Chain A
Amino acid sequence: MRKYIETVKILFKSQLAYRFDIIMNIVLTVSKMLLAYVLWSAVFETQDIVAGFTLNSMMSYYIISSFIAQLDQATGTGWRIAEDIRNGRFSKYIIKPMDIFGYFTAHTAGVSLFLLIFNLLAAILWVLIFGVELIMTNDVLMILQTVVLILLGLLFMVQLSYFIGILAFKVLDVTVFMLVKDNIAEFVKGSLIPLTLLSPAIIGVMKLFPFYYVTYLPTMLLLGRNGDEALQGIVILVLWIVLFRFINSFTFKRLRHRYDGVGI
Chain B
Amino acid sequence: MGILIGLLVPLGILVLIAVFVIGIYNTLVRLRNQVDNAWSQIDVQLKRRHDLIPNLVETAKGYMKHEQDTFTKITEARSRAMGAGNVADAAKAEGALTDALSKFMLVVENYPDLKANANFLSLQETLTSTENKISFARQGYNDQALFYNNKIQMFPSNVVAGMFSFTKRDFFEIENEAEREAPKVQF
A binds B: no
